[in-house]
């Protein structure tokens, strides 16, 4: 079965773009594999651009404009027009800028909105950042389960922060519906796309998302610590009041004026000097997308996760694992989460056997399926190794 699926896979050839070995790598939702284009590009950046051209590379090699240029390369992957995405800083920093800016826009609207709602299932760091933004802007913060957001938004709501894909379970939230609910209440919708950018269509422009952030080291394969991205809808950019008004986002950064004057457009989302080595590694990694459509990637993602769930059901003894990831395609990202006893020990043994995933305490095995380099043979092998490992380690739930 796996052999036939691999033979019919139209994206199978993309695997050759990556540095891989015999390991089944199912942790692309933590750190994407290394694209072949990156090492040579970074050697050029270091030896020629930095080593020979030195400071001249800011102009001659386009270092200064890299945040916007690379943002425009990411924009089609999240279905946004050019000029709305800028690359730089970390996800947390961009999230802080976004939440403060959203709260400030709500305050400027003049209707007394002082509550920020946050997705109650979100990655903890997002909540920490949102709480800090709330303190800074005089707002209160309230965690709400995503399913309850439509009933929770009100005329008190300034902004709502939501994760597109739940980092633990892989559940895909209904971005069009929830964004519409937030807008109907007169609030601003901010989305974290860390677990969706690069594996499924997002539709930022189509669905009128206000602000979004995302990392680039997962499914965009930008490398460890690669810079994050920030999307600000075009009609909101002149109102985006960043709490970190660095010199890079100044209208005239080289005039060294004492007073801050924000740049026009999405560039006002910049802060300080960009990390050029990581930035240009990301740019090289994104070249693979010149040959791909996000819809084709989504189709393979669903096929891979379907096949894994089928293999797990076929090979694993009943009652040992409980799938947490929804079976319904419209509710699934590109990972599969399984609850089982002794999850940490199981994953340790899986990695020793050449199948790499990760664990989310206390009992969740997490497998991320990066369609650009994971094949159906990988999936079947992973399920067989999982079944063997579980038979040695785990005890059926309820026994």
User: Tell me, what's the pLDDT at 395?
Assistant: 58
If asked whether residues 253 and 298 sit together in one domain, one would say: no
| pLDDT the model gives residue 396 | 54
| 164, part of any domain | yes
Q: How many domains does the chain have?
A: 2
Q: Which domain holds residue 342?
A: 2-35+293-393
Domain boundary among 219, 242, 273: 273
Q: What is the pLDDT along the chain (399 residues), one digit of tens a residue?
A: 999 999 999 999 999 999 999 999 999 999 999 999 999 999 999 999 999 999 999 999 999 999 999 999 999 999 999 999 999 999 999 999 999 999 999 999 998 999 999 999 999 999 999 999 999 999 999 999 999 999 999 999 999 999 999 999 999 999 999 999 999 999 999 999 999 999 999 999 999 999 999 999 999 999 999 999 999 999 999 999 999 999 999 999 999 999 999 999 999 999 999 999 999 999 999 999 998 999 999 999 999 999 999 999 999 999 999 999 999 999 999 999 999 999 999 999 999 999 999 999 999 999 999 999 999 999 999 999 999 999 998 555 444
What pLDDT, on a 0 to 100 scale, did the predictor assign at position 157? 98
CATH code (residue 303): 3.90.1150.10
Q: What is the pLDDT of residue 397?
A: 47
Q: Which of 206, 240, 273 is the last residue of a domain?
A: 273
265: nearest Cα among 84, 64, 76, 80: 84
Return the active site residues: 123, 192, 217-218, 366
- The reply to whether 87 and 158 lie within a common domain is yes
Does residue 370 sit in the same domain as residue 262?
no
pLDDT, position 160:
98
Residues 269 and 300 in one domain: no
The pLDDT, as a whole number, for residue 262 is 97
């Amino acid at each position: 079965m796996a052999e036939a699926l691999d033979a019919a896979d139209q994206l199978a050839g993309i695997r050759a773009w990556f540095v891989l070995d015999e390991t089944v790598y199912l942790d692309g939702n933590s750190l994407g594999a290394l694209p072949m284009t990156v090492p040579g590009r970074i050697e050029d950046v270091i030896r020629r651009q930095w080593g020979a051209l030195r400071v001249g590379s800011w102009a001659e090699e386009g270092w200064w404009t890299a945040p916007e240029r690379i943002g425009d390369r990411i924009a089609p992957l999240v279905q946004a027009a050019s000029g709305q995405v800028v690359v730089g800083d970390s996800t947390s920093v961009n999230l802080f800028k976004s939440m403060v800016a959203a709260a400030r826009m709500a305050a400027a609207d003049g209707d007394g909105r002082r509550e920020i709602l946050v997705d109650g299932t979100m990655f903890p760091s997002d909540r920490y950042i949102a709480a800090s933004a709330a303190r800074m802007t005089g707002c209160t913060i309230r965690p709400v389960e995503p399913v309850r957001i439509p009933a929770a938004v009100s005329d008190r709501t300034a902004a709502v922060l939501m994760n597109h894909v739940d980092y633990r379970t892989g559940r895909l939230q209904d971005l069009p519906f929830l964004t519409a609910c937030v807008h109907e209440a007169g609030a601003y919708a901010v989305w974290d796309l860390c677990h969706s950018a690069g594996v499924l269509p997002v539709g930022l422009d189509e669905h009128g998302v206000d602000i979004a952030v995302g990392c680039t080291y997962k499914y965009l394969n930008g490398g460890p610590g690669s810079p994050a991205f920030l999307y600000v809808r075009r009609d909101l950019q002149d109102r985006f009041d960043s709490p970190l008004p660095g010199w890079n986002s100044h209208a005239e950064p080289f005039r060294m004026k004492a007073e801050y004057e924000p740049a026009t457009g999405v560039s006002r989302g910049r802060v300080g000097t960009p990390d050029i080595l990581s930035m240009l590694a990301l740019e090289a990694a994104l070249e693979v997308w010149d040959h791909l459509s996000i819809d084709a990637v989504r189709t393979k993602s669903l096929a891979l996760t379907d096949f894994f769930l089928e293999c797990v059901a076929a090979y694993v003894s009943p009652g040992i694992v409980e799938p947490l990831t929804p079976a319904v395609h419209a509710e699934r990202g590109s990972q599969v989460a399984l609850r089982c006893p002794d999850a940490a020990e199981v994953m340790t043994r899986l990695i020793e056997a050449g199948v790499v995933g990760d664990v989310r305490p206390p009992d969740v095995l997490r497998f991320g399926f990066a369609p650009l380099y994971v094949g159906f043979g990988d999936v079947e092998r992973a399920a067989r190794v999982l079944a063997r490992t579980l038979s040695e380690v785990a005890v059926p739930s309820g026994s």
